[in-house]
């Protein structure tokens, strides 16, 4: 039992310091604050697309001492979801405090939304024709003949179900107002679905042949 009395003074000092720190921590006031923090999707599967309404941030309510909360900087707190091994289809994710990265001493007391639904689809590519759009009318006595696009087709990519529904891409409007000869313009190509994107150069050269009425060329 003699070892219990070895370094008795040091042990007494340590016990007193620990007791003091406990009372300081126990008596310290706490505050709460609500923050909007970015949501990171980690280990996103290759050749997959996120569909539906994307959630880019979540609301978290944090509790800590006023000093810690006042010292928080942008980027100190974030949320993350690990999608390692996720396959195509719907995935329901429950966000818990473990999904929130926060400095030491900060407690996560609430997350909103706490449940997220994530939809994943395979990435699909497809080649579709370009549909030039025209604006205005040629000069009197003239009409629009052949309309060509160079290139005539573009490659698009996106979620499988969205790509399968698209039949063509369209161009910016080309003005033919008052034209009495061929009109050529370099214009950008667009897609009706915002979840789709173009692969390669987003511009094409469109030529509209404007000729006199009754002439073949």
Q: Please say if the pLDDT value at position 217 is more than 70.
A: no
Q: Please say if the pLDDT value at position 21 is more than 70.
A: no
Counting beta carbons within 10 angstroms of the beta carbon of residue 125, is it exposed (0 to 12), middle (13 to 18) or buried (19 or more)?
Answer: exposed
Q: How far is the C-alpha of 38 from the C-alpha of 23, rounded, in Å?
A: 36
The H helix count followed by the E strand count for the chain is: 3, 14
Q: Which residues contact 115 (CB under 8 A, 6 or more apart)?
A: 92, 93, 94, 95
Choice among 12-21, 60-69, 154-163, 188-197 with the minimum mean pLDDT:
12-21
User: In this predicted model, what pLDDT tens digit does every residue of 33-54 receive, in sequence order?
Assistant: 999 999 999 999 989 998 877 7
Cis status, amide bond into 113, omega within 30 of 0: yes
Delineate the domains of the chain, giving CATH numbers in brackets.
29-113 (2.170.120.30), 123-212 (2.170.120.40)
Mean per-residue pLDDT of the chain:
87
Name the pLDDT band for 1 (thresholds 50, 70, 90): very low
Q: Please say if the pLDDT value at position 3 is more than 50.
A: no
């Amino acid at each position: 039992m003699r070892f219990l009395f070895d370094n008795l003074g040091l042990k007494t000092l340590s016990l007193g310091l620990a007791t003091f720190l406990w009372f300081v921590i126990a008596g310290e006031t706490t505050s709460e604050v609500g923050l909007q923090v970015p949501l990171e999707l980690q280990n996103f599967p290759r050749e997959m697309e996120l569909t539906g309404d994307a959630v880019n941030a979540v609301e978290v309510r944090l509790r800590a001492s006023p000093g810690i909360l006042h010292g928080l900087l942008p980027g100190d707190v974030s949320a993350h979801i690990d999608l390692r091994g996720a396959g195509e289809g719907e995935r329901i994710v429950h966000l818990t405090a473990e999904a929130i990265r926060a400095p030491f001493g900060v407690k996560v007391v609430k997350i909103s939304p706490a449940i997220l639904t994530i939809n994943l689809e395979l990435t699909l590519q497809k080649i579709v024709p370009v549909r030039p759009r025209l604006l205005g009318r040629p000069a009197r006595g003239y009409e629009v003949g052949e309309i060509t696009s160079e290139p005539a087709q573009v490659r698009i990519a996106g979620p499988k179900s969205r790509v399968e529904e698209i039949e063509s891409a369209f161009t910016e409007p080309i003005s033919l107002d008052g034209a009495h000869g061929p009109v050529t313009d370099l214009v950008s190509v667009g897609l009706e679905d915002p979840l789709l994107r173009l692969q390669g150069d987003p511009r094409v050269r469109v030529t509209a042949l404007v000729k006199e009425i009754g002439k073949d060329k």
